[in-house]
Structure 1
């Protein structure tokens, strides 16, 4: 990597118990140099030391309310100064989680919250949320893990940081089933339940949107081609605008009832359409492996 390439620095923070350590470990696995609970007062000297070296290994720096000298307003001020430099590419990742889920996690593990000070876990959680609000507002990327399992958070971090180059817009196109919950990290959600459902055709039920018979069925469904073209044109127009505004990550999700037919085919085809226009999206199918269940599909066909 040439010395003219900006040094990548990711500041990783968030609510205690939300998944900061998990995110840092995945970044380290992806080749980032990761440092956790780093003293904020040493951040500028560390940056200068890294820039003095011959390599530009991406650097992830983790900190939270337990970090020595933790002052959210001071951290934001330092981050603002660093983002003005041409030799740095600085982003801030905030790992969040709702209070009730954080309380459940603390009660389940019997760990003490670092800000509880002898009180209940929820008291500590509320105090920390107030303390971290300036950082949450400042962060470039907010990851809400309230409904994410650890492996789902790991997958999300891998998708967005494994191959992303400086200035590149990281795009995820996914499929999901509404019957199994909305994707908590999606920026744009398109509901494909207006299409005829292949689930109700016995010869298609056990197949998925990756199979040719399902693809052929949906291509001939009234309204698909026209709607697909409009969504494609909208995305081709929006994505460069997001990038121009400094947005680094966009998650586009297509949903249907069970997440196995309509949404899967649409996501696959949309990803291909975006590739043909110069983008490089990652594709994931959240519920592709789920069992085709009549009870799920009957909730809303």
Structure 2
């Protein structure tokens, strides 16, 4: 049996997450009272016999506060029964959540005559803290559209080739913000920037002209060697501490050239040493795509 618990603040993308999981053969339940988790697991195990069902449930602030407070105890009980259980927590910054509710005209479940939308968003974060603290995987959806969120969930939750820690090597651009779910961040903005070469600007770090240019730079080679040595030594320590997911973020200014090159090269090298290494380029724009405004 595999159980995925989906949580997060309202407007962060929980419904999308459940849709993705349902499309991938999970039996999904929205807004499950937290206290029913043990009974759900018990009944599923009794009915499963020799098959291994996949279940996803959403537990959020619509639960009673006293039930949310007991979440750590309930989760520990599930894992004591050796149930494979992942806790996925989705969130976005307050400004983004306010904008999403304003655009959709949806009512926040915690708003009332005495609590404004902004207050509800703030209070919801406190209510969900027992779940936030135990999340195996946190995804910040502030800058993700629907399709990017679906891809991210599939990559992190569903594409793990085998049990164990899933390592994500992710490139990003500082001008769009540091990924809030990153466990380790490397800033490589000090390296030579292909953007200032007119004949290279339109390419990204996956393209051969960029690869050849950066391969020729002494600073790039030294930076790669230092980062690789650090990750090769310490990522296994993360795995040994029973971490389910670890995200390593490599950042340059725009997230198109240097960070993409470095993340791709590091990821490919680490795959020779570690299992479950995934690579993602958050902000990359290929030649045939238009840059974001």
The equivalent residue for 1:109 is: 104
**Number of aligned residue pairs:** 286
Q: 1:114 to 1:229 in 2, by over 3 A?
A: same
Q: 1:89 to 1:282 in 2, by over 3 A?
A: same
For 2:119 and 2:200, how far apart are their aligned partners in 1? 52
Spell out, residue by residue over 1:84-103, the C-alpha distance to the aligned partner (whole angstroms, 9 max, x if none): 223x1223222223333322
SS at match of 1:202: coil
Which consecutive unaligned segments of at least 5 residues does structure 2 have? none
Question: How do residues 1-301 of structure 1 correspond to structure 2 at under 5 angstroms?
Answer: 7-52=1-46, 53=48, 54-67=50-63, 71-86=67-82, 88-119=83-114, 120-164=116-160, 167-289=163-285
Q: CA RMSD in A?
A: 2.5
Q: 1:148 to 1:214 in 2, by over 3 A?
A: closer
For 2:65 and 2:252, how far apart are their aligned partners in 1? 48
Asked if structure 1 preserves the Cα contact closer than 8 Å seen for 2:256 and 2:284, the reply is yes
For 1:207 and 1:101, how far apart are their aligned partners in 2? 30
Alpha-carbon deviation of 1:255?
A: 1.9
Spell out, residue by residue over 1:270-300, the C-alpha distance to the aligned partner (whole angstroms, 9 max, x if none): 11101111334222223321679xxx9xxxx
Asked if structure 2 preserves the Cα contact closer than 8 Å seen for 1:40 and 1:70, the reply is no
For 2:166 and 2:245, how far apart are their aligned partners in 1? 5
For 1:290 and 1:106, how far apart are their aligned partners in 2? 32
Asked if structure 2 preserves the Cα contact closer than 8 Å seen for 1:89 and 1:166, the reply is no
Alpha-carbon deviation of 1:228?
A: 0.8
Which consecutive unaligned segments of at least 5 residues does structure 1 have? 1-6, 297-301
Alpha-carbon deviation of 1:37?
A: 1.4
For 1:201 and 1:136, how far apart are their aligned partners in 2? 44
Spell out, residue by residue over 1:27-67, the C-alpha distance to the aligned partner (whole angstroms, 9 max, x if none): 22233222111233432222122222122132211122224
Asked if structure 2 preserves the Cα contact closer than 8 Å seen for 1:99 and 1:125, the reply is yes
